[in-house]
Amino acid sequence: MKQNIFVYRVAQAASFLVAKLIFNRQVIRNEIKGKKGPFVIIANHQCALDFVSLISLTKTPMSFVISNAFYNSLPIKGLLDRMGLIPKQQFQTTVKDMKNMKAVIEKGNPLVIYPAGLMCEDGISTPIPEATYKFLKWLGVDVYVAKVSGTYFSMPKWAKGFRPGKTFIDVYKLFSKEELLGSDVDEIKNRAEAALVFDAYKEQETLRVRFKNNKISGLESVLYMCPHCLREFEMWVRDKNVIGCKHCGFEQVSDEFSFLHNHKGIGNEIRYVSDWSRKIFTQLKEKIETGQLRDLSAKTTIMVIDSKKHKFVTVGQGTVTLNEKGFIIDGKINGEKSVIEVSTANFPTLPFSPGKYFEIQQGKNIYRCCLEDGKLVMKFINMVKAFYLLKKQKVGANL
């Protein structure tokens, strides 16, 4: 559907207000202001509403690439079409997806891509699929970076609502068309990753933004392992900003800058949530490498998108299992016995909501697994990341 300028301008105006009033956005550079003609913007992804910081920075209408699941599960699909949004499969790019994105460039319009595909859950940028860099070279136009900082703290994936503070956006040219076409894929990758990869907590050391709301309820769904005694699923949050372990008494308290501090003298201080998360991932990866952990299973409710209602609906119950080959969903779907196998060889991660569900895409089908024990969601996600990384390492070792 052709982009409707009136609808787009209304979305721009609304986004501008949200960016200024809710996110307190500060613009560092804006090198796309007044720019016309085809170009592509690659952006990092810290929270669900990162686009509001970008969309109002140029009058030139841009086409944003969004996930197919998000696009099809919203009741405003018609409105999204009029805004010129382009849905695509996450972590998979079909020929149709590529043609749709290339068509925007061929019409002389700008395209916005979030290469990581997902907002982060722990302040650490999500891995970028390798195919992204070849795709940028194939587009063959100027490439800009839109890097946001602080939006993770304003709207954490693991929490509800907004946290007043201050956020920043820096938009600048990464490659001219000529530089892009003259660069090999490795050079494009190195420069793009240097621009997009982040640790929100390390950035906060420089930004030093105070947030009025330092509640951390929900963080226990991400930090599910105690870094002191290494027990899993013993974490709790109390007094709004204290996270601790029921087993060993380890506790950390969050301050107004979102840094953690040792609360009772048990164990070491872990200042960054990102460092705590890395420790959880490292422990899990080592268990997989040593054969202590080979698979993970959980009881689940199975949901799919209803194309008429534009939302996820329950279609069955069963068990979901993950191993190094991929996922197996075994249960009843629409009253019939079903066994669905999905390879995760090329998935660096999956769409998910901490403590609630994760989504598995097989072609056009998207299965949302709402686990009976929501605490396991993050462990499944870390296992997907670990299997992906180990496969990459194995391929590299065989070259």
- Whether residue 398 has pLDDT greater than 60: no
Residue 264 phi, psi dihedral angles, 5° rounding:
-130, 5
Euclidean distance between CA atoms 250 and 227, whole angstroms: 8
What does the pLDDT read at residue 31? 97
Give the pLDDT mean for 235-244: 93
Please give the structure tokens belonging to residue 97. 């997806």
How far, in Å, are 55, 192, 220, 226 from residue 277 at the CA level?
A: 31, 24, 11, 10
What does the pLDDT read at residue 365? 87
Q: What's the angle, vertex CA 152, arms to CA 146 and CA 157, rounded to 5?
A: 120
What does the pLDDT read at residue 18? 95
- Whether residue 86 has pLDDT greater than 80: yes
Q: Which amino acid is at 66?
A: I
- In the chain, what percentage of residues exceed pLDDT 70? 96
- Whether residue 399 has pLDDT greater than 60: no
What does the pLDDT read at residue 67? 80
Q: Which helix (H) or strand (E) holds 311?
A: strand 311-323
> Which residues fall within 8 angstroms of residue 317, CB to CB, at 6 or more apart?
299, 300, 301, 302, 331, 332
Q: Which domains does the chain have, with CATH numbers?
A: 5-207 (3.40.1130.10), 219-289 (no CATH), 296-398 (2.30.29.30)
What does the pLDDT read at residue 209? 96
The pLDDT mean for the chain works out to: 92
pLDDT tens for 4-39 read 899 999 999 999 999 999 999 999 999 999 998 899
What does the pLDDT read at residue 140? 93
Confidence of residue 224 (pLDDT cuts 50, 70, 90): very high
Give the pLDDT mean for 238-258: 95
Contact 310, 368 (CB under 8 A): no
How far, in Å, are 155, 309, 372 from residue 355 at the CA level?
A: 17, 25, 10
What does the pLDDT read at residue 75? 64
Euclidean distance between CA atoms 96 and 256, whole angstroms: 46
Euclidean distance between CA atoms 255 and 26, whole angstroms: 23
Q: Name the residue with higher pLDDT: 76 or 246.
A: 246
The 3-state DSSP class for residue 310 equals coil
Q: No. of H helices and E strands in the chain?
A: 12, 18
Contact 385, 349 (CB under 8 A): yes
- Whether residue 191 has pLDDT greater than 90: yes
What does the pLDDT read at residue 386? 95
Long-range Cβ pairs for the range 206-209 (8 Å, 24+): 207/149, 207/150, 207/166, 207/168, 208/257, 209/150, 209/153, 209/165, 209/166, 209/167, 209/257
Give the pLDDT mean for 153-169: 93
Give the pLDDT mean for 219-229: 97
pLDDT tens for 252-280 read 999 999 999 998 899 999 999 999 999 99
What does the pLDDT read at residue 83? 81
> Which residues fall within 8 angstroms of residue 202, CB to CB, at 6 or more apart?
272, 274
Long-range Cβ pairs for the range 102-109 (8 Å, 24+): 102/138, 102/139, 104/38, 104/63, 105/38, 105/40, 105/139, 105/140, 105/141, 106/38, 107/38, 108/36, 108/37, 108/38, 109/38, 109/60, 109/61, 109/62, 109/63
The 3-state DSSP class for residue 192 equals helix
